[in-house]
Structures are given as C-alpha cells and as structure tokens.
Amino acid sequence: MVISFSGVLTGILLTPVIGAIIILLLNKESKEQARIIAAMSTGIALLLALGVFFGYDVDAANAAADQGQTYFAFEDHVKWIESVGISWHLGVDGISAPMVLLTAIAGFCGVLISWGINDRPREFMAFFLLLVAGVFGVFMAVDLFVLFFFYELSIFPMYFLIVIWGWAQTRQYAAMKLTLYILVGSVIALVGLLAVYFKAGEATGIYSFDFVDLHAAQVAGAFDTPFAGSLPDAVTTAKLWFPAIFLGFGVLAGIWPLHNWSPDGHVAAPTAVSMIHAGVLMKLGAFAALRVGVQVLPEGAKVHLPWIVFLTLINVVYGALIAMRQRDFKYVIGFSSVSHMGLVSMGFATMNLTGMTGAGLQMFSHGVMTALFFACVGMVYDRAHTRDIPSLGGFAQKLPWVAVAFIIGGFVSMGMPGLSGFVAEFPIFVGLWDGPAFTPAGDVIDSFNYYGLIALIAAIGIIVTAAYVLRVVGQVFFGDFNAERFPRITSITIYDKIALVFLTFWLVLLGVYPRLMAPMIESGLRLVVASIQGGG
Amino acid sequence: MTFSTDAQASVIAILPEILMVVLAVAVLVLDVFWRVRERVEIGYVAGFGLLGIAALVWLIGTPQQSGELSDQLVLGGMIRHDDLAQIFRVMVIVAGGLSCLITMGMDRLRVRGDFYALVIISVIGASLTAAASDLIMIFLALETLSITLYLLAGYLRNDDKSTEAGLKYFMFGAFASAFTLYGLSLVYGFTGETNIYRLGRVVSTGGLNDPAVVIALGLVMVGFAFKISAVPFHFWTPDVYEGAPTPITALLSTASKAASLGLLLRFLLAVFPPPDLLPAALDGVKDYSVLWVELAAVLAVVSMSLGNVLALVQTNIKRLLAYSTIAHAGYVLVGVAAISTDKSGDGAAAVAFYMFMYVLTNILAFAVVILFADATGSNEIRDLAGLSRRSPWLALAMTLALLSLAGIPPAAGFVGKFLLFRAAIDSGLVWLALVGMINVIIGLYYYLVIVKVMYMDLPQDEAPIPVSLAHVWALSISSAGVVLFGTVLVSPLLDWATDAAHALYVML
C-alpha cells in the first residue's frame, strides 16, 4: 500500500482541514476561538511549508535532471484507487515548492486580515481553511487525478466565501460567473487529461494518472502518434489535446479572452478571499497548465504556445490599459492581476529556461504582491466605505502603514530593481528576446522569430503599469484628506500590521536575494525545457 | 446449461429476502401489539432491521466457487447470486432502511407500522429485481416493487397531492408494465426460453426476424426507461415526487431506480449480447447490442439535457430534485452505453459505484427536505433561506448532498462522475462524455442557487429546526457515506463494483 511516506506534505495539507473540522465543532458563540484556531492551523502549515522550502535539495534535483529523471522531494506515495491507476502521490519539485510557501504565506496573512469579520466567523474560517487545503493539494499533487481533485475542491469554498461574505452589490453575479467559468475550463481540461491517460496506457500498458508515469510515456513517444486511427499523422495526441488542457486550466490563470470572471470575482470577494484568489488561486491555473499541459505534452507546447503567446501579450497590455481606466480602487488591482498573470503565461510561452524561470518567480512575486495590494485595498475600504478613487485622498496621513505597504507593492508591480518584481520580470523579457530555441526550429517560427517584437510591445504594459500605480498612489494616499467625508478613520489593528509587514518582507527578501528561489525553480524546469528544445 | 441444485446455496441466495419477509411480519405484529407510546419507536425496528440485513448481505458475499455461471444460477435459474446482485441489493436495502429512519421525522407516519411493512415489501421487490435472471422473476419482482410503491405514494389519503401522486404513478406504471410484459412475452414467444442467459443465446444465433427483436427490445426498454425516469418516459416523475410522502420520494428515487438499473445492465448484456461475449465457435451470430448502445446513448443525452434545463426553473425543492433525478438517469445511462464495448467492465463498475453513492446522496438530500418541510410546512426553495443561520449542521448536510449531486469533491459524486465519463471515453464515446460534462455545469448552477439561498439569504424565522434522533442516525450514516466513498473508501467500493461488473460478463 504505502510506497513512500514522509508525511510532511500530507501534514501541511491536513492541518487546515483539521482546523476547519475543529472550528465547525465549536459552538456558535465561540468567534474568537475560531479565529485563533484558524491562525494556529495556518501558522503550523506555514512553519511546515518553510521547512519544505528550505529543506528542498536543489543539487539533488539538478542531478536528477542531468539524468533526465523527474525529481520530487518529500514524497508521500500511497495506493488509493488502484484499479484506475490513481495513487495519493504528493511531492514538491522546484516549481511547486515556492508555490506551497506562497499558499502558506497568503493563507496565514488572510486569516490575520479577516480577524474583523463578525458575521459567522466560524463558517468563514472553516471555508477559508478548506480553500487553503485545496490549493495546497493542487500544488503538491504528483498524481494528476489528485491535482484535479483538489482543483475542483478549491472552487466550491470560493463560491461560498464570495457569495456569503462578498461585496453585496455584485457577489451573486460574480460568484456564479467565477464558478461556472472555472468549471467549464476544468472539465475541458479533464477530457484532455483522460485522453492523455488512455493514450499513455495504450502505449505503455500502464494506466496511471501519476505524473512520473505520464512523463515516462511522453519520453517514450506515446503522444507523438495520431490520437485516433482515422486522423492524419500530423494530428498527434500532444498537438490535439494541448490547447484543451492549457487553455482549460488557463481560464483560472486569466488568459485573455477567458479572463472575464477574474476582475469581477476579485472585487466581489471579501479581502482575505481576494488575497487568496488573485494571489494564489490564479497561480493554480498557471501551475496546472504548466504541469499537465506543458510538462506532459511538450510537443504540443511547441506547436501551440507560439500562437498562445499573442493571447498573453493582449493580457499584459490590455489588462494594464483597462486598469488605467478604472475608478474603482479594487478593479484597478483586479485588472492589474490580469496583466501580471499575462506575464506568467508569457514566460511559459518563451519555452526557454530563462523565461520560464522568470514565470516561476513571477508567480511567487505576483502572489505576494497582489495579496498585499488587496489587503491594503480592504483596509482602506473598511474604513472609508468607498473605493471610488477620485473621492479618496490623503490616506497616507491616517493609515501610514497601509500607504507604505501599498507603495512598496506598487514598486514591485512596476518592476523596480531591488524588489521581487524586477527579479521576476527581467528574466521573462530576456527570455522573450531570446525566443524559443528549438532544434530543429518549430513549424511556426521558422521564417521569422517575432518573440523580440512581442517583448517590445509587452514593455508598453510595464510603462502603463507604472502610470496606473502612481495614479492610484497619488490620488488615494496623497493629496488632500477630506475630513468631512471621512470623519472617523481608525488606525489598523496589530493583526493587519503583522500581515502587511510579513508580506512586504518576502517582496524585499526575494528582491535582494533572488538566489533564494531562482535556482530552485530552474532545477524544476530543466527537464521540460530540455524536452522542448531537444526533441524532434 | 444446468442450474445449481444445491439447496443450501439456494437458501443463502435468497436469505436477505427471507429475512426481510420475517422483518415485515414482525413489524406488522408489533404494530398490533404495541401501544401508541411504544409504537413511535417502530421505525427503528424497520430501519435498523433493514440496515442489519444489508450488512449481512455484504458479509455473505457470493458463493466460493463463483466464476461458474451454473453455480450462481439458483432456484431453477430464477435468481443469479453474483456480485452484481449483491452490490445492488445492498444499495436498495440501505435505501429502504434509511427511508424508514427518515420517516420517523414525520409525525403522521411515524406510528404507522403498515407503512414500514409496505416499505420493506417494496425493498424485497427491489432486491429480487437486482438478482432476477428469469423473465418470470423479473416481472414478479418489478411488480412487487411497483405495486407497493403505488400504495405508498398515495398513502396520505387526506392529502390531495399524495392521492394524485399515487394515482398518477399507478396509471403510468401500469402502462409501462404492460409494455414491458408485452416485450417480455414477445421475447419468450420467439425463443421459447424464460431464462435470460439461455434465451440470449437463441436471440443471437437463432436467426430471428430482425424487426421482431427490435420491437421486443424497444418495448422492454420503455418499461426500464419509465422506472429510471429517463426522458421521454419521465412525465410522472415531478408530480409523483412532489405529491408522495417525502420518504417515499426518497425511496422511489433510490431503491426503485438502483434495482431497475442493476436489472437493466444484466438484461441487456444477457439477452442482446455483443458477439465477442459469446463463444467463438458459434455461427450466424447477430449483433443487437449496437441497437441498445445507441438507444442508451440517445436516452442519456435527452435525459441529461432536458432534466437539467427544466430543473433550472423549479421553485419547489422536491420538484427540483425530481428533475435532477431525471438528469442523473441520463448520467448513468452514459455508463450503460459504455458497457458493451468495454470488456474491462469499467462502464458497469462506474454505474454500480455511481448508483451506490447516488442512493446515499439522495437520501441525505431528502432527509433534510423532510425535516425542513415538517418544521415550516413548505417545500419552496426560497423558504430554505437562512437555513445556515437556523441549523448550521442541516445546511452543511444539504450542501454536502448538493455538492455530491453536482459532482464536486470531496463528495462521492465527483468520483462517480469521473468514473462514468472515463468509461465513456474509454469506449470511444468521447462526444457523450462531453455532453455529460456540459450538463454537469448546467446542473451545478441550480445546485449552487440552493446553496446560496441557504447561506446568503436572511431567514424569516430564526428558530432552529428540530431534529429527531432517528434523523440524526440517517443523516450521519448517509453523510459519512458520501464523504468516505468520495475519499478514503473509494477503492474498496470500486473494487466491489468492479467484481460486480466482471460477474456481468460471465455468461454461457
């Protein structure tokens, strides 16, 4: 039954679940206890996640990549549904270890930020913890059924959290839209996953959802044959199903034109949920698209990413331009997420080590940054009761902590050197400039390598980002404070301060010391980049 | 082919039914001798009696020498004692037991021993349906199941809606039975056999007239489609579900359906087998399986789509669940369509797994509906408003049931749907799986709307809803099942379902 079991990852996953169960068992009046238990369980998960992050052995990962083998640390591998080829297989590689840490950070800070929720905090915390557990599960899953299981599992607490505690004006619409959008994407991806599963089983005789087995099947060339006998040779499994999987999961990553749910969802969600949502959940989509799409079907990526890169370009530029036009503080951040997540997908689309590593760093950096942004927006909104940018102003005097945190987040967003945004975006642009180096060159970019051009246009997005960030900072935090309109602006609580400092800490740390994460992410990507560039 | 003549094996094969007859009699006797004060507990006797029998069925399992068809066909070939029969029997008996327990939440029915006895008898019918392997037994079992359900649906004689439900169900049911009977008699007339395994051989190799076989198949399918409320034979479903006493609605949507599906799997494969299930040496084999695969696929598509679309506009929770039942019949038929080309048994295993989780899920949903209707006198969805503030646990249980119906983890519905669509893709029905998945999303919408009403809207009345002890049992058993069979216990149940599926392919 048990193949290997270190227990750490299962522990991280179960801590919030156990916390949620304990909270549900409390009686109705125990509001404070519920908050404390939630903080404790996310705190324990955070400590464990730090242990996983710092305990990750980059050298071993590189050694495995040199051998052409997949590498997962802290594996928990237990038989689950044997007859279908499903096992409880958790593990972290260089890409997912930072994501696990990100989830733990955002989860812990989310609990602190939500301390003030007074309407049914028990239910809030329980659903929030379930959401965090689901997200952990996706990032840790090596078995792709497990990944899918948790992917779906993280959607429904989201619906609850938005529809019950969200912004009253749009919550019903936004929650339903978000749920349906994401589920449509996920079932399309599921069909693709099943097709890949059966194809791998046919070719190798091992019917399994395990990433390791599917990767082995890919190396053996199982996906390079026509998907069905009646199809022409060119329509291989990889080419046929890659778009379904990549774009299916891409819905959650906010790829244009499937991003429509995301600003509405972010705005309607309560602060902590926006933090998890924009900060972590969107990475779920990008991560799943990478793991199930690019890593399992690199041959498909070679054919399709060269056109998907245009979609991501629209993300970056269009998202930034729309953010520029918003009057609502929270919508600005919502659209900035669309823009920044475009950079992540764009990094994947470079298909070289530099660009993809940048995408991995951007996932972490944007996650923390957006969580910080939404926390700041929430703190302002809770006190001002409006998010209309022109009517706010001078809040730096009243909420200095929030102003400083927001400005640092803004610098990250603009890609200011010394902060994590620069560390993440710079490699993406370098990677774009280089373009995918196929040997032999792919079908599409034989004649003209347009990736450099895309880098130039995408740079517009960065300029616009600077413009809207500075505009928001100027109008919300500086300028004249309207004392008549906002007579009572209370200062933020100690929990809020801890959360803000903690989030900012990671942005600065990664900015000044990128070696903390970059080699790790690189080690996780070497195998897939090698198979994209090396294979015929 | 010979049938088993082992008397002991025969008795063991129908031991559950024997015990249930005893239980029914015991309940009737207690009903007479117990005073009203004691009689309020009579539901426990019926409910836990049935659950105990279900556990016994599971413990007994199948004969050791299983694998040989002739050892499993007992009582002159009337009954086949195999894993398929066992798993569907457990389902229907559990459904009956839980229905008895949730009946105890209704004051009017709680003390009626005859009501419980009728439930037990209908479960006997359902249980025999799942094991029947002879035309005579098929018809008898189906009628035992149906006639008691007609009575039960119209049991509340002072309630117009219940009376209407009983009458309507009877009229439609009698009509469908006539079709089935006519189909069965045609099959018998052409082949001269009543045992389905023997007559399957004749149908395949006997050089029968094609149109005649098609007509017989069509007529029998009408009966089955009626029982599982597949479109276009679903018209009775919403009205009967709405009018019948809610525990009977629960029983109708679970036991009656599960038993009919178990029989459907067995009947289709045995009577109209795909040629590669038959010995290779036979000459002149005709393949009728293509017909019913197509028929099942078409029924699946229309049932899923129509059921889900009509459910979108419902305002009454019982009617909504009725349309959702129609949609779920469609999902299961996806699995039925996958059984003929899929020798690994994935399709049939998926159907068995799905029905098992569906039984628990639906009972869970109806258990909450009963409590709620009893406390508020309403079955309207909008009156569920604020249930999470009034009774957080009930709201959570209902949410779990709805998530399971919608196919969201960690509820068992997720794995169930996953297995069905996997089987469909495996047998080359990718389009059918896609239609099914689109339907899952449509379904999700109306399930989530109910969740929204329970959690977001404000209640008119803040008082908690009283929950009886029997209900706590029913709710805990079914919700534990829904969670466990969706997570840690998937494998044991699926292995059992796979054994059942393999038994299905053991033929002459």
Quote the pLDDT of residue B329: 93
Looking at per-residue pLDDT, the higher value among B350 and A70 belongs to B350
Q: Which residue of B has its CA nearest to A86?
A: B491
Successive 10-residue mean pLDDT values, chain B, 508 residues: 78 90 93 85 90 90 67 84 90 94 85 90 94 92 93 89 91 91 90 87 81 88 89 89 90 92 91 81 79 90 93 90 93 89 79 94 91 83 84 89 90 91 86 90 89 84 84 92 90 88 80
Domain annotation covers residue B300? yes
A-B interface: how many C-beta pairs under 8 angstroms? 86
Dist CA B91 CA B485 (whole Å): 13
Helices (H), A351-489: 353-384, 395-398, 400-414, 420-434, 451-472
Residue-level pLDDT at B19: 94
Chain B: nearest CA to A198, how far in angstroms?
A: 7
Give the residue, A40 or A224, on which the prediction is more confident.
A40
Most confident of A34-48, A238-252, A502-516, B85-99: B85-99
Residue B1 lies in a domain: no
Instruction: Report the distance separating Cα A222 and Cα B239, nearest Å.
Output: 52
Confidence of residue A444 (pLDDT cuts 50, 70, 90): low
Among chain A residues, CA nearest to B449: A176
Please tell me the predicted confidence (pLDDT) of residue B361: 94
Position A445 pLDDT exceeds 80:
no
pLDDT for A446 equals 53
Range of the domain at A226: 2-534
**Do residue B441 and residue A183 have CB atoms under 8 angstroms apart?**
yes
* pLDDT, tens digit (0-9, with 9 covering 90-100), for A134-188: 999 999 999 999 999 999 888 888 888 888 888 777 888 888 888 888 888 888 8
Q: Which residues have C-beta within 8 Å of that of residue B207, sequence separation ≥ 6?
A: B284, B286
Q: Which residues of B touch A195 (CB under 8 A)?
A: 425, 430
* Residue in chain A lying closest to B395 (CA): A123
The H or E element spanning position A335 is helix A329-350
Residues of B within an 8 Å Cβ radius of A = 349, 388-389, 392, 396, 403, 408-410, 414-415, 418-419, 421-422, 425-426, 430, 433-434, 437-438, 440-441, 444-445, 448, 451-452, 455-456, 490-491, 494-495, 498
| Total structural domains within chain B | 1
pLDDT of residue B20: 94
What digits encode the pLDDT tens for the residues A457-504? 888 888 888 888 888 888 888 878 777 777 777 778 888 888 888 888
| Chain B residue closest in CA terms to A83 | B495
Residues of B in contact with A16 (CB under 8 A): none
Q: Compare A109 and A222 and report the one with higher pLDDT.
A: A109
pLDDT tens string B217-248? 899 989 889 989 888 888 899 999 988 998 99
Per-residue model confidence (pLDDT) at position A227: 76
Cα–Cα distance between A436 and A459 in angstroms, integer?
19
What's the confidence (pLDDT) of residue B389?
Answer: 83
CB contact under 8 A, B437 and A191: yes
Range of the structural domain that residue B24 is part of? 7-504
- pLDDT recorded at residue A443: 55
Total tally of structural domains belonging to chain A:
1
The confidence score (pLDDT) of residue B5 equals 76
Selecting from A153, A194, A195 the residue whose C-beta is nearest the C-beta of B409 gives A153
ipTM for the assembly = 0.88
Band of residue A536 on the pLDDT scale cut at 50, 70, 90: very low
pLDDT attached to residue A401: 87
DSSP letters for A66-128 = HTT----EEEEEEEEEGGGTEEEEEEE-TTHHHHHHHHHHHHHHHHHHGGG--SSHHHHHHHH
* Residue-level pLDDT at B480: 93
CB contact under 8 A, B452 and A155: no
Q: Do A191 and B494 touch (CB under 8 A)?
A: no
pLDDT recorded at residue A489 = 76
Query: How far apart are the C-alpha atoms of B110 and B450, rounded to whole Å?
Result: 28
Confidence of residue A447 (pLDDT cuts 50, 70, 90): low
Statement: residue A293 has pLDDT above 80: yes
Backbone angles phi, psi at B278, to 5 degrees: -90, 160
Residues of B in contact with A79 (CB under 8 A): 491
pLDDT in tens, A123-145: 888 888 999 999 999 999 999 99
Q: How far apart are CA B97 and CA B123, in angstroms?
A: 9
Q: Which residues in B lie closer than 8 A to residue A138 (C-beta atoms)? A: none
Q: In sequence order, which ranges of B112-251 are alpha helices (DSSP H)?
A: 113-131, 135-153, 160-191, 196-205, 210-227, 236-243, 246-251
Question: Is A120 close to B389, i.e. CB distance below 8 A?
Answer: yes
Asked if residue B2 is part of any domain, the answer here is no
Comparing CB atoms, the residue among A123, A160, A187 nearest residue B441 is: A187
DSSP state of A516: G
Put residue A343 in one of left, alpha, beta given phi > 0 → left and psi -120 to 50 → alpha: alpha
